[in-house]
Amino acid sequence: MRHYVLVVKEDCETCRMIQPVAAALALSTEFRVFSQDNPNFPGDLPEGFTIEDDRELANSFELKIEIVPTLICYDDAQESERLEGWDRSAWERVCAQKFSPSLPAFRPGCGSKSQDPGMAEKLAVKYGSQQLKARRVNIADGEDEVEACYDRGWSDGLPLVPPTEIRVVRMLQGTLRAADDLVGDVPPDYAPCSIEKIAINAVMAGCKPEYLPVVIAAVEAALMDEFCMHGLLATTYFSGPMVLVNGPLSRAIGMNSRGNALGQGNRANATIGRALQLVIRNVGGGRPGGVDRSALGNPGKYTFCFAEDETGSCWESYAEERGFSREVSTVSLFAADGVQGIVDQKSRTPESLSRSFAAGLRVVSHPKMAMAADAFLVISPEHERVFRDAGWSKARLKAELHDLLQIPGSELIVGAGGISEGLPEKFKDQMLPKFREGGLNIVRAGGSAGLFSAIIAGWGASGKIGSVPVTREIL
């Protein structure tokens, strides 16, 4: 049994043009008409024929209408063909009849009202199958929406984007994963975290839907056991998670890897790092003064996220060093403190510049500490050029720094230099590396001018005792 469904709106010139066609179909076939804007349109239909009022767009949503007019042909209740806009030969073939020769051969339709800006999300909330499970928090009419978020303890101290259902549905369009898919248990409460909860916090952080896969990967990375998110949150130390993004997605979503890469002003950098922190705060329950016992913290605990400048670098990227190809996008997490600058505007040889780097790296945590905190060295383009011109690979620079950062134990032990802080006496006659094996990493980022690089020191409990950097592919 064949029947037809036609979806139209009066506001569309093509829909108005095909009114005689609708009248002919109503006379000769099993036929239903849905009107998106005027239940008396189309006109001139046979007496007694009922036009179905779809001003609420429920049927248009259900039928996934993108263009009007759309003619859908059903055979035995199964959709067999769909025509969008007017194409006389196609309509005549599908309807098995001839239409007025005065009609043009072809005329495109208009956008369906269900596709108006912002409407798709509204309809998805109203009629969609995506059932969001989060508890609804009612906000009184007189309540300021931003203040309401503060009052409920959701904020990191900065204003949040209120997580309305429409915004969360829109955010979830950034991923193919189901809203109720669980990614793991978030410390310190070890509360189960769904994609929906991540999306809610991403909304609040100010993310665009296209950032959501990066945020999800960052949360998953934070939950990897070796990253030790619980300890990182609870520590009295400064550290918090630093998010490094590699691969084509970092460029596709407009992340900043160049001028001011570690600073403010880029939405993706700013909001992805913030979203991760909000998940830890709101889903995990990790808050300053609660389980977060940091003595001082650091500004990166609001957000600390940047991309590596892969296209401008002569070196393999951090992700490539970790075994990922250049075509794959990844998120890496590092338990990081703030940024310490290294100024060297005079070195023009790699030997001299690497000594400057080593001198700066020597003081990570404390000049007398060794194999405690890891570090990332962020090398700017003008500094990298010195190594590029001399043909130094990243591996060679790392090896050079390793050699330069061998320190006599006698300088590090308790009491040496008149400083009580230090290593046990038993290390007095040994040479000790500043960093554990694999504890010093190098990435390239920054603007084209400025002979400056940066050290991002890590948590004093780096390595197996606490946290090791982790990398996860963005899916």
Q: Which stretches of the chain bind other proteins, using CB under 8 A?
A: 132, 134-141, 145, 148-149, 154, 162-165, 168, 186-187, 189, 191-193, 196-197, 200-201, 204, 228, 230-232, 234-236, 278, 282-285, 461, 465-467
Shortest spacing between CB 257 and other proteins, in angstroms: 29
Which amino acid would we find at residue 275? A
Shortest spacing between CB 299 and other proteins, in angstroms: 23
Measured from the CB atom, the residue of 31 and 154 that comes closer to other proteins is: 154
Residue 245's nearest CA partner among 59, 471, 43, 13 is 471
Measured from the CB atom, the residue of 24 and 276 that comes closer to other proteins is: 276
Q: Which residues pair with 376 in a beta bridge?
A: 441, 456
Q: Which residues pair with 452 in a beta bridge?
A: 343
Shortest spacing between CB 130 and other proteins, in angstroms: 12
Report yes or no: 402 and 433 within 8 Å, Cβ to Cβ: yes
Q: Say how many residues make up the chain.
A: 475
Measured from the CB atom, the residue of 262 and 372 that comes closer to other proteins is: 372
Residue 22 CA to residue 42 CA, distance in Å, equals 7
Measured from the CB atom, the residue of 98 and 293 that comes closer to other proteins is: 293
Residue 71's nearest CA partner among 3, 12, 124 is 3
Shortest spacing between CB 138 and other proteins, in angstroms: 5
Report yes or no: 459 and 373 within 8 Å, Cβ to Cβ: yes
Measured from the CB atom, the residue of 162 and 450 that comes closer to other proteins is: 162
Residue 198 CA to residue 276 CA, distance in Å, equals 8
Report yes or no: 365 and 357 within 8 Å, Cβ to Cβ: no
Shortest spacing between CB 385 and other proteins, in angstroms: 39
Unique residue bearing structure tokens 């720094």: 401
Measured from the CB atom, the residue of 392 and 427 that comes closer to other proteins is: 427
Do strands 330-343 and 452-458 pair parallel, antiparallel, or not at all (unpaired)? antiparallel
Shortest spacing between CB 168 and other proteins, in angstroms: 5
Residue 69 CA to residue 64 CA, distance in Å, equals 13
Shortest spacing between CB 152 and other proteins, in angstroms: 8
Residue 215's nearest CA partner among 169, 179, 175, 187 is 175
Shortest spacing between CB 231 and other proteins, in angstroms: 3
Measured from the CB atom, the residue of 138 and 345 that comes closer to other proteins is: 138
Listed in order, strand segments (DSSP E) in 12-76 are 31-35, 52-53, 67-68, 70-75
Measured from the CB atom, the residue of 72 and 193 that comes closer to other proteins is: 193
Measured from the CB atom, the residue of 119 and 234 that comes closer to other proteins is: 234
Shortest spacing between CB 200 and other proteins, in angstroms: 4
Burial of 148 by CB count in 10 Å (0-12 exposed, 13-18 middle, 19+ buried)? middle
Residue 114 CA to residue 131 CA, distance in Å, equals 20
Residue 129 CA to residue 441 CA, distance in Å, equals 46
Measured from the CB atom, the residue of 206 and 466 that comes closer to other proteins is: 466
Residue 220's nearest CA partner among 187, 184, 252 is 184
> H helices of 327-420, where?
350-362, 381-390, 394-404
Shortest spacing between CB 279 and other proteins, in angstroms: 8
Measured from the CB atom, the residue of 465 and 475 that comes closer to other proteins is: 465
> Phi and psi of 86, rounded to 5°?
-110, 125
Shortest spacing between CB 405 and other proteins, in angstroms: 24
Q: Return the sign of the alpha-carbon dihedral for residues 333, 338, 339, 340.
A: negative
Residue 86 CA to residue 321 CA, distance in Å, equals 56
